[in-house]
Each structure stands twice: as C-alpha cells, then as structure tokens.
Amino acid sequence: MVLDLRKRGSSTTLFGPCGAPGRIDSVRTSWGPMATIAQRVAGGLYVGKALNRRLSRSITGELPPLFAVIYARASNETKARKVAVSTQIAVGRKFCTEHGIKVVAVLVDNNLSASRYATEERQDYNEALRLLSTGQANLLWTWENSRAQRNLSMFARLREILEKVGGYWAYDDRIYDMNDPDDRIDTAEDAVDAERESEKIRKRVRRGVEARALEGLWAGPLGYGYRIIYDQRTGEAARTVDPETAPIAEAIVDRLIADGNETALVRELIDAGVPCARGHMWRADRVKKLVHLSKDPVGWAKFIDTLTAEQREAAYEALVRVRTDSPSQVAQQMNREQWVHPLPGQWNGAKVRNIALNPALAGLRVFRGEVIGKGTWEPIISDRKRALIVARLGDPSRSTVRDGTRIKYLLTGIMRCGICERPTQRTPKARARLGYRCPSGHLVRDMERTDAYVVEAVLTRLESEEARELFRYEDQADELTKAVATARELRARLDGFTDSAASGGISPDRLARIEAKLVPQIEAAEERVRQIGVSPVVAELLGADARTVWAGLSLSQQREVLRAVVVPRLLRTKGGHAPLNPEDIELTWLGAPAALPRVDDRFDDEESLSEVS
C-alpha cells in the first residue's frame, strides 16, 4: 500500500526497522489495509509525525488504551458539500476498527450548525465533551475539524478538555495529540479555516437575502391569507392569494378596525367553526410542550387517553425524533410528512392581532423588522385599511402590559383540576377568601393554605440530596455554581446601575449603554446554566439556602420554579367548606420523559443506549 505522508512545514520523516530516519515521498510496504497501528508499530514501520511517542505507548499498551467517541454532524449550510451523518459514522467505525480503538459512544447532531451564529444547542456534542472530561473516553473522532465546531471559542474549550485529560482528536485520517505543541497548532490552524469558511457562508447568505428583499421577493413563513404555488417550468415558489383564508383575513381586519375588540372577535371565530390559523402546524414550542407533558406520568396518561389513535401515534413519533433532533427540526419533519397534530391550536387575541398587523396583507415587504417597499405579490387589504388597523391596534392608549406581569397569584394556570385536567383559576372577588377553582366547576380550594402546602413541599424537595441528582447537579457542581454566581453578580450590578439612574446618579443614555453590555453577558451566563440541565432560578434554590432564596424571588420567578419541578392537582375532598387536606392535593414531581411503546423496550443495555444517545 502507499502511505499518506502529508505533513505541514518540514519534510516527512519515516522510521524504519532500525530506527534510522529517512526523507522520502512515499513508501510501499507489505502491511495489509486492515493492519492496526499497534501491528505497524510492532513491525517497526510507521510515519513519525502521524504517531508521536506518547501515542505509540498508548497503542502498544504502555499507557491506557484508546476509547473513542464518534461524533457526526451535518448542517444545511452547503447541501452540495454536505456529507451525511450515516456516512461519517461508517467511516469513523472503520477508522477505529483498523486502528484497534474501542468505540464507547456514537453521537449525532443532525441538521445543526456549529458556527458562532447557531441558535440551537448541540446536545450530543455537549455529551461528547462530558464523556471526554470525565475520562469515559480519551479520543474524539470527527469527519473533519469543522464537524466539531466552526467557532474558535468552542475549539478552545475542546482543546482545553483534551489537554487536561491527556486526550486525542482524530480527523482526516490522522490522530492529533493535544499534549503535543505541534498538533495543537495544526488543529488550531484547521479551526481558524473552519470559522473563516463559516463566515464566508454567512456573508453570502446575508447578501442573497438582502438582494431578494430589495427586489421585493417573498421570504420567510407564509402569512395567513396566502398560499404557495410552484412554476411548472422552473419549480420556483411564489405567494398567491388563498381564496379560502384571504376573505377571513380581510374580515378580521375590518372587524378590528370597527371596534378593536380582540376577545369578542375570537369568540365569533370559534363559534363560527373557522379553522384556527396554523392550528394543525407543528412548531418547535409545541414539540417542547409534548416533551414537558411526557415528564408528568399522571398528566401524560390522561392526555394520551384523550387522543385518537392517529394523534397518539404522532405524539409518540415526535418524542422518538426529539431524542436525536432538535424541536425545530422535528416540527419541520412532522409538517413535511403531514403528521396530524395532537395539540391543535386555538384562536386567541394574539393570533388575530398578528394577522391584522401583518404588513404582507397590504403587499408590503419587510426586511430586518422594517417595511422597505412593495412586494411582488397581490395585496389582500388596501393601503387605507393598513393605515387604519395600525392606528387602531397601535393606539398608545391601549394597554401594553405583558402577559407575565398580569399574573397576581402563585398557582393560577399551574394548579390543575384532578378531574378534568384544566388549569385552575382565581375565584370571583366577591368571595370572602380567595381560592382556586376549576373552570368547569368541579372543585374550589382555599388559596392561601394551598399555596403554603405546595411551596413547603417544593422547598423541602429542593433542600434534599435527591434534588442534586434530579437536576444533574452533582457531576458538574463547580461549573454550575460558577455560572449561577456569575449570573447573580451581573444582575446585581445591573440593578445597581438602574437604581442609580432612577435617583439621577447616571443619565438614561449611559444606562442604555450599560444595559447593552451587561444584558448579553447575563443571558449567556443563564444559558450556560440551562445547558448543564437546570433552570437558572431553580439552580439557585438547590441546597440548604432554598428558603432564603425563594423569599427573594419575584412572583414570575417563583412560578418558573414550580413549572420546572412539579405539577400540582386538586382532588375531590370531603366537608362542606372544602377544608385543606394534604391528601387531596396531588403533587406529581417532574422527572424523565415517558417510556415510548415499542422503542424503549429495545434498549436493554448500556451499549445500545450509548449508540443512540
């Protein structure tokens, strides 16, 4: 065979049986294609640069053997050059077999970007880093350098882990030792090239998007009232008025121009049986809601019983796919394959408002949040109606209070009726004492005592050692503690500047500049906490200080904690005035997602799990 002796910088060195180096271009040898590195080392023939002394000792048994994580990734950046993850995995397995390396896990992030502009977390890549950092693996195999990342900061993190544990990185048919200065430089040069290519791709895409916008061509999601048609000759997609939904969109605009009452309009649409806009479309948030529902065994069982056989199959299919793909990818797949939705949407005030204010209805093209001119499609409403609806719904006298700040009670919308599963509401103010009531009238319970019981149970659980395991806290305690402390410190600094501005200590312009700098840092710190596997607010409550921290949380933060930890339900109670009985409040602690029929029962050993995780 002909050995590949490519080498950066100086000439390639080949070591023969006597250890004498020689400068050559290629060499032919009798070693077969399936000979392992160990066999070649034992025979005294190997490329010196491709196998340094420490790696040789590892392969020949003097140092711990090599345990590899095969990581495959593909994105949609350049479809013509994309290598399928299945191909990457096959090549990775072949490489490890040929070189006597044991594979401990095969991890996949499909259709996910690795650039600095990526919007979704790569769960399996994080798992690969965890296996490496904990010593369960000491070699990462990727198809090429850019499959691991196109971001220098991510590369630095990987290099730091491998250098710390004495690990290796294999790609492009070569094993790099992160404790070898030359190999660190080589991989860094490849990482720079990967990020440079990512930036070029982004620049080309942005220029293309801007060009389409200036031409007035349609881009983005299809608005209500339109449909897509395809040119039979060119295959180009175009937006055209939908004869079924366009009259409804115009009627919504006319109705809101007349009185602006979104609530009344919603009732009329529902009573008339008008199908909800995108009611049966899969979206990332609905996939996430299914995952959240599946963590509550009681609620999941009740939910599944309400579905048709077709909806039940779709729900389980989505849960299967979200194990390997992101929620947005699962939503795209389910829409493309026309799976029925188990959580059909309903009309609400936000939907009718968004339809009415959509500039596309008036044929206007929007680019980066601003109207830049007319589009190439036919408008549904006139410019005059567009001006009237903006004036009506954009009236400063209208309430601009956000949904989150309207909440006044701890468990409204969180506490459920144990009979019908509907979220409870506050009792009418005419009652002497506030309470939680089922909207269907099944039961009513005193609010103050119910809140006290649920909060006490939650805090007791968060104080326990079990909470650390529940939120994957123990394995990454130092990192999690540091991330929480960073977020807390930054928020405290921002609050200090805000108080100073309120008292006239600093100008509003300066406060705005400070916020522009601190807010992204706070969001990055809290996102790191989420990556570790716990809500930033919940993370602060873990441990003995749970009660002290809880007392300092806002109402919205306390509700965030409850949603992440428990699903409380009110059960029927005995007694005329429904006294508080702890046995009549059911607390379901959120845990692992529900087992999937005909799927989970196949994974009966750790090795199988590692290859699909």
Distance CA 409, CA 348 (A): 22
Res. 324 pLDDT band, cuts 50 70 90 = confident
Query: What number is the average pLDDT over the span 501-523?
Result: 78
Question: Is position 74 within any domain?
Answer: yes
Token match 């602690």: residue?
589
Question: Interhelix angle for 309-321 vs 327-336, to 10°?
Answer: 140
Last residue of a domain, one of 393, 428, 454: 393
Does 112 share its domain with 76? yes
Question: Is position 26 within any domain?
Answer: no
Instruction: Write the pLDDT tens digit of every residue in 88-133.
Output: 889 999 999 888 889 999 988 876 776 766 667 788 888 899 999 9
Per-residue pLDDT, 521? 81
Does 385 share its domain with 427? no
Adjacent-strand bridge partners of 446: 435
Token match 């500049």: residue?
513
Res. 314 pLDDT band, cuts 50 70 90 = very high
Cβ count near 264 (within 10 Å):
13
Does 496 share its domain with 568? yes
Question: Is position 227 within any domain?
Answer: no
Per-residue pLDDT, 455? 93
Question: Is position 513 within any domain?
Answer: yes
Contact 345, 279 (CB under 8 A): yes
Is pLDDT larger for residue 480 or for residue 146? 146
Contact 229, 237 (CB under 8 A): yes
Adjacent-strand bridge partners of 47: 14
Q: For the chain, how many structural domains are there in total?
A: 3
Percent of the chain with pLDDT over 90: 12
Instruction: Write the pLDDT tens digit of every residue in 145-190.
Output: 888 888 888 888 899 999 998 899 999 888 899 888 888 899 999 9
Res. 539 pLDDT band, cuts 50 70 90 = low
Instruction: Write the pLDDT tens digit of every residue in 274-302.
Output: 888 877 888 888 898 898 888 888 889 88
Per-residue pLDDT, 262? 84
Query: What number is the average pLDDT over the span 443-462?
Result: 90
Does 557 share its domain with 415? yes
| Nearby residues of 553 by Cβ (< 8 Å), 6 or more positions away | 537, 561
Per-residue pLDDT, 536? 57
Distance CA 167, CA 208 (A): 42
Instruction: Write the pLDDT tens digit of every residue in 582-612.
Output: 788 999 988 766 666 655 544 343 343 333 3
Most confident segment among 2-6, 25-29, 310-314, 394-398: 310-314
Last residue of a domain, one of 359, 393, 427: 393
CA distances for 519 relative to 153, 377, 494, 539, angstroms = 20, 39, 8, 19
- Dig out the tokens for 517 from the structure: 């700098």
Per-residue pLDDT, 237? 74
Question: Is position 421 within any domain?
Answer: yes
The one-letter amino acid code at 233 reads R
Would the CA dihedral through 503, 508, 509, 514 be positive or negative? positive
Under DSSP, the state recorded for 595 is: P
- One-character DSSP codes across 330-363: HHHHHHHTTPPPSS-----HHHHHHHHH-GGGGT
Q: Which domain holds residue 532?
A: 408-589
Per-residue pLDDT, 92? 92
Question: Is position 111 within any domain?
Answer: yes
Residue 578's closest CA among 430, 431, 443, 453? 443
Does 432 share its domain with 332? no
Per-residue pLDDT, 195? 86
The chain-wide mean pLDDT, for the chain, equals 76
Q: Is it the case that residue 248 has pLDDT exceeding 60?
A: yes
Phi, psi (degrees; rounded to nearest 5) at 77: -65, -50
Does 430 share its domain with 362? no
Q: How remote is the C-alpha of 271 from its chain's centroid?
A: 37
Region of poorest pLDDT, from 33-37, 439-443, 509-513: 33-37
Would the CA dihedral through 104, 109, 110, 113 be positive or negative? negative
Under DSSP, the state recorded for 112 is: -
Adjacent-strand bridge partners of 238: 229
Distance CA 532, CA 534 (A): 6
Instruction: Write the pLDDT tens digit of every residue in 117-127.
Output: 666 778 888 88
| Nearby residues of 19 by Cβ (< 8 Å), 6 or more positions away | 44
Per-residue pLDDT, 398? 43
Distance CA 519, CA 495 (A): 11
Distance CA 322, CA 131 (A): 21
Is pLDDT larger for residue 568 or for residue 31? 568
Last residue of a domain, one of 362, 393, 424: 393
Question: Interhelix angle for 152-165 vs 181-214, to 10°?
Answer: 160
Per-residue pLDDT, 582? 79
List the CATH number of the domain containing 79: 3.40.50.1390
Per-residue pLDDT, 454? 94
Does 362 share its domain with 319? yes
Token match 């909800």: residue?
276
Per-residue pLDDT, 574? 67
